[in-house]
Amino acid sequence: MEVAAQFIIHETAHWILNHHMSSALPGYLMLGSRAHVSSLAELAGEALAELGGLLATIQKTLESQLKPKWLYISRFGHDPGYPIHFHFIPVYHWVEELFWKDARYRLLETFATNENAQSLTDGAELTLFIWREFGERPEPPAIQGPSITQVIDDLRRAFK
């Protein structure tokens, strides 16, 4: 899949960093390989060497620019149509508040039966919430803070 130019934030010899094209959550980024491979083991040595520093730089930049409560960095998927890529998912305080207010997600609290239930959530539950509510829902929740366009512009400047 080709990344639309308006979503590209930063490019290197081996990687493209872009805002997730189908997520309404500002700051949800994707780091994808330019090589059409599905495994780290298939990447050229130069791409692997570049990856570690790039992951750290992206994390540091997102944490300093966007100030999420948490930043999830993950690799998901196994679709042969996409090269290996990583998700950078900012979890802002307001996103977590929306999660706790949505009764549909309380069904996930199978083992959380006390007043400390909020401390028992995990990244999988919040990731599911973000994917469903900001990625798949036709009318995503209202965001707080800068828009996706503003975040992309700010991050482009930060990566220069």
Report the distance separating Cα 116 and Cα 58, nearest Å: 33
Residue type, 56: A
The pair of three-digit structure tokens given for residue 27, joined into one six-digit string? 């700051």
Q: What pLDDT does residue 108 have?
A: 67
Report the distance separating Cα 96 and Cα 7, nearest Å: 25
Q: What pLDDT does residue 76 have?
A: 81
pTM: 0.90
**pLDDT tens for the chain, residues 1 to 160:** 688 999 999 999 999 999 999 999 999 999 999 999 988 999 999 999 999 999 999 999 999 999 999 999 999 876 777 899 999 999 999 999 999 999 888 776 655 555 555 556 778 889 999 999 999 999 999 999 999 999 999 999 999 9
Q: What pLDDT does residue 42 have?
A: 93
CATH architecture of 5-159: 2-Layer Sandwich (3.30)
For residues 88 and 57, the answer to whether their CB atoms sit within 8 Å is no
The pair of three-digit structure tokens given for residue 53, joined into one six-digit string? 């520093």
Q: What pLDDT does residue 124 have?
A: 87
For residues 61 and 158, the answer to whether their CB atoms sit within 8 Å is yes
Q: What pLDDT does residue 79 have?
A: 72
3-state secondary structure of 85: strand
